[in-house]
Each structure stands twice: as C-alpha cells, then as structure tokens.
Amino acid sequence: MLLLCVLVLSLVFVLPKQSRTLLQSIGQPLAQLLSLPLTVFASLDRGVQEVWNGYVALYQVSEENRQLRHELQVLRGRNNELRELGVAGQRLAAVLALKERLKAKTVAAQIIGRDATNWYQSIVLDKGARDGIGVEMGVMAPDGAVGRVVKVTPFTSMVLLITDPNNAVTGLIQRTRDEGIVEGTADGRARMKYIPLLATLQSGDVVVTSGLTGGFPRGIPMGTITRIDKAEGELFQSAEIVPEVDLHKLEEVLVITDPLPVGDEREGAGGRSGSAPAEARP
C-alpha cells in the first residue's frame, strides 16, 4: 500500500500535465480510500489512549482509597488506645483518691491473674512480699472490700475474694450496729451469719467491715442485704448479701498493710444488740 502511494506521487510530478491531471483524478478517490483505514486506526488509537488514561486514573484512585483505608485503621487503633488510656486513668484516679482518703497504709496493685478452676474464687496481684504485702492483709477497691491475702511470694500475692466460701470477715450492719460473719457462697455472692436473733434487719441494709478482724479498718462497705433468713428455733439469723464491688471487672486494688480505723463510723447510732462468734479461718 505504501509503495503504491509513492508510485502515484512520483507519476504526478514526473509525467506531463495531461497525465498528471488524469492521475490526480484517479488519485483523489484512491487517497480517500486510503485515508479511511488511517482514520479508523487514528480513532482506535484515541479510544485506546482514553481507555488507558481512564485505567491509570482508576488505579490511582484505588491506590489512594487503599492508603486512606490503612490510615483510617491506624487512626481507629490510636483512638481505641487513647480511649483505653482514658478509662485506665479514671480507674487509677479513683484508686489514688481512695488511697489519699484512707488513714490506713495501703499498697496499690494490679490484677494479673484469676483462678481458672472452680475450687477457689481468687485473684493474683503483681505485688508481693518485697512490697510489704503479707498474709491476712485486707484488699479493697474504691467501691468496697474485695478479699484478703492468703498467699505471698516475693513478687506476687494471691487474694481470696469475699465471695469465696472459704473466706470469712467480721461485718457490721451499718444501720443497726449488729455484727456477724460474712462468708462467701457457692453462687458467687456472700452471706452474713450469726446475726443476733433480735436484730431488726431490713432488705437494703448496708454491711461494712467491723474493723475487729480480717485485716480491714472499720467502715469499708462489703455489700447490701437482699434477703433475710430467720428460721424458727435458731439462735441466730442470717442474710444474703450482694457484694458492693463487681469482682468480675476489677483491674486495680489497694492492699491494706496497716488497717488503722477509718473513723467515719458513728458509734452512738443504735448500739449493738449482741456479738458474733470469733471469725472463722479457712
């Protein structure tokens, strides 16, 4: 095809005028015929170029979207970290406020483990003997009593929760000033035993630590009475208690190393109508 075009052009310039006129009349339709595929190829080239440019632009947009999604994931992770730090800061602030408010000497500790069996309801702290923690020391949270230390290593300590059946702490009914022994139950609650038979208990009464035994100062909230059991012929009555602290959500606690009196209890309010037996030991 190219050779034919060259031949036609050569004849146009070399041959006489009449011949050139004849060849021009023949060459115009031929040129139009030859330009048709060139036009088609040019149009096709433009179409391919447009498609390619669209593909490149789409790839760039897709890459930008991928980068933006990655940045969004990073920002979400940082936001979650900041939110967790904020929640932890609130918890630590509450523990610090409690530590400053108490007259008793305390050591702040973090929970690093829980008992995985059904034998004991206990937690493990990241502080031990080298931090001044010993057996029988009381453990509390900002909301109230948690349990007492039963085992100590140089770097850790095990705390038996107040909901464990093997734990027993002397409690005091805040309204009536009657004493009893608070023990854990198998269903994860607590029960106050050996309450004087003449004590006028009510559902909703708050039970606090008596400060006599158990490693706690006086007046630390233990729980609220939800049910009263008063069997005929018994010398004492008992009451079911819902612990003041949500023991399943604990993360930081205070270990009471020197249980001095809190001093916020009113000794003249109501008086005691009886006394409880000595505290049981596991």
Q: Calculate mean pLDDT across residues 271-278.
A: 39
Residue 31 has pLDDT above 90, yes or no: no
Q: Is the dihedral of CA 17, 19, 20, 22 positive or negative?
A: positive
Taking only the tens place, the pLDDT of each residue in 237-256 is 999 999 999 888 888 898 99
Indicate the pTM of the whole model.
0.61
> What pLDDT shows up at residue 194?
93
pLDDT confidence tier of residue 263, bands split at 50, 70 and 90: very low
Q: Calculate mean pLDDT across residues 78-100.
A: 65
- CA-CA-CA-CA dihedral for 90, 97, 156, 135, to nearest 10: -140
* DSSP single-letter state for residue 115: -
Q: Calculate mean pLDDT across residues 6-27.
A: 54
> What pLDDT shows up at residue 214?
65
Residue 163 has pLDDT above 80, yes or no: yes
In b/e form, how buried is each residue of 138-148, taking b as 16+ CB within 10 angstroms?
bbbbbebbbbb
> Which residues is 208 bridged to in the sheet?
172, 221
> What pLDDT shows up at residue 282?
38
More confident residue, 104 or 272: 104
3-state secondary structure of 200: coil
- Rounded to whole angstroms, what are the CA distances from 121 to 71, 147, 208? 44, 10, 21
> What pLDDT shows up at residue 274?
40
Residue 30, C-beta contacts closer than 8 angstroms, at least 6 positions apart: 8
* Distance separating alpha carbons of residues 189 and 223, to the nearest angstrom: 10
Q: Are 177 and 192 in contact (CB under 8 A)?
A: no
> In one letter, which amino acid is 131?
D
